[in-house]
Structure 1
Amino acid sequence: MVSDGSWRFDRMVDVQSDPYLLDHVVEGQPVFPAAYLVGLMTQSAHRVLPRCQVLGVRNVRFVQAARFKDRQALQFSVTAECVEPDRIAVGISSSMDPPRAGFPRIHRTHASGDVRMGERVEQPARFQRLDFSGASDYAELYRLPREIQHGPAFLAGLRYRRPAPDQLLAVVAPPGRSELGWQPDPDAPGWPATLLNAILHVAFSLGVLARERTVLPLELASGELHAIPRGEVQVFARRTAAEEGKQTFHVASWDTQGRPVALFRGFAVQEVP
């Protein structure tokens, strides 16, 4: 529903309507991925300003995970409002039936942030393709931590290197090496969640390796997506801060021709006690 520069989307979500959730399990429960929340933000912003392109996101907060306990359905609500000519404020929440009749529905806020809109400028190639021969299999990182399990819909990482304790290099590809690329529908609005998830997961993996603890997404200071390639993407994650169980990363990625794909600043995760 669109009216007066605002947009609202409501949809029931469960593991039957969105079976990929069964491939993203945290502590035994399917969880809606944080990167997919960012994807929803960009899609809703594009609905408000369909003639513009999504340039970036800012001040993203991951408030509470959307868990599908006992396969119960959640009614997702995404609201987007044009607060400036090139900025859309987005909020994502959900509601679910109460455990017993006569009680009010349970409401939870999952994420909020700003989306920058405008006209994308093509970026020239400025990265070199790295030699990953002899690198380790990324499947090792999918097994860490044990509390989080990934299925085929999220197995994008191929190879990785750890040149320094606070750095991680990786190669990612569309899950299942899909010939359709990261965005099967080229006309789909917003950013492809599969690509965002694959890139941010490299920083997530570094966070786990650095402390050998389970971590959950907390916030994202800013993000830019310059291009959506079809094939492999090289990713570099660097830890910039670590204090009181919180780790912060910068993540850069580029395609096989050295063209920038995405840059994320201030991606913070919180260690689970």
Structure 2
Amino acid sequence: MSAHGPTLGEVSATDGSWRFERGVDIRTDPYLLDHVVEGAPVFPAAYLVGLMTQAAHRMQPERQVLGVRDVRFVQAARFKDTRALQFSVTAEAAEANRVTVGISSSMAPPREGFPRIHRTHASGEVRMGERVESLARFRPLDFTGAESYEALYRLPREIQHGPTFLAGLRYRRPAQDQLLAVVAPPGRSASGWQEDPRAPGWPAALLNAILHVAFSLGVLCRERTVLPLELASGELHAIPRGEVQVFARRTSAHDDLQTFHVVAWDAQGRRVALFRGFSVREVP
């Protein structure tokens, strides 16, 4: 159980494949109440990526998470009332430094006698290895006088964010297809982005805060509700303790699809993360 982010469940291992399972509902994972889409709590896409990195790190604890690749968000995990979803995270080491991960769930049927409802939520690949400390290469920006990020949390109207997700502080939009923002640990937590430094993988709150900048740009560009679709690749360099500056740029727009690149760095100008090919789709 965690008040701020997802955790893996009980593990079973067979033939090189690890499977983590646990029940998830709004009581065991109250942060879900802070991410409501069209009136129902929804498991955030960035948190699915967080679970992928957790599973890979648990499988290969001697290595560090270097990045993700070919992540596909298949179907949203929605929560109705207090009914639980039985989450299943399956990890398999394709190579020594590569772990493929799939996330699915099952739910009890609405009426007795019917089969359980099964859904696939995401799949992707996690790259593992030895992280090399990133050198300072970015110039920290001054956000004094910039717009309050709260305005972006109110977009779109169909999605409501609570305190767990309120990481953004200030933003600027230097061009139509660009967005700059500064984000901090939700609630300006003294423990930083990761409650427990021994926790495996990457903190979902940090992934969510960075990718939310691109998500917000997608909404601003089209003035429509969008939902995550794919993430071509992501490089993960460091987990900072404090504020992170983020730059999102829209690289393509076609029909109802938009694609973004996102880069983030810490207060010393050291790279935190780089995401390529983050695609969103407009809700019909």
Contact 1:2 1:48 (C-alpha < 8 Å) held by counterparts: no
TM-score of the aligned structures, taking structure 1 as reference length: 0.99
- Displacement of 1:6 in angstroms is 1.9
Amino acid at match of 2:278: F
For the residues of structure 2 that align with 1:254 and 1:47, how far apart are their CA atoms?
26
Q: Please give the alpha-carbon distance, in whole angstroms, between the structure 1 residues aligned to 2:219 and 2:244.
A: 21
Give the aligned partner of residue 133 of structure 1.
144
Matching residue within 18, 22, 27 for 1:16: 27
Aligned to 2:229: 218
Which residue identity lines up with residue 137 of structure 1 in the other structure? Answer: S
Residues 5 and 48, structure 1, Cα contact 8 Å, conserved in 2: no
Tell me how far apart the structure 1 counterparts of residues 169 and 82 of structure 2 sit (CA, whole Å). Answer: 31
Give distance in 2, aligned partners of 1:228 and 1:194: 11
Determine what percentage of the aligned residue pairs are the same residue: 80
Instruction: Answer whether contact 1:162 1:169 (CA < 8 A) is retained.
Output: yes
Question: In the alignment, is residue 124 of structure 1 matched against residue 127 of structure 2?
Answer: no
Corresponding residue of 2:39: 28
Contact (CA 8 Å) 1:64, 1:111: kept in 2 or not?
A: yes
Measured after TM superposition, the shift of residue 17 of structure 1 is 0.3
Displacement of 1:70: 2.2
> Which runs of structure 2 are paired with 1:45-194 in the superposition (5 Å)?
45-194=56-205
Matching residue's letter, 2:197: P
* Structure 1: gaps spanning 5 or more residues: none
> Distance between the aligned counterparts of 2:93 and 2:13, measured in 1?
11
Deviations 1:147-205 (A, max 9, x none): 00000000000000000000000000000010010001111100000000000000000
Task: Name the CA distance, whole Å, in 1 between partners of 2:256 and 2:40.
Answer: 23
Count residues in correspondence.
273
Measure how far apart 1:134 and its partner are: 1.3
Q: Could you tell me how far apart the structure 2 residues matched to 1:49 and 1:165 are?
A: 42
Contact 1:30 1:67 in 2 (8 A): yes
CA offsets 1:1-46 (integer angstroms, 9 cap, x no match): 2344321001000000000100000000000000000000000011
Which whole-Å deviations, capped at 9, do the CAs of 1:191-229 have from their partners, x for residues lacking one?
Answer: 000000000000000000000000000000001110100
Give distance in 1, aligned partners of 2:91 and 2:25.
Answer: 23
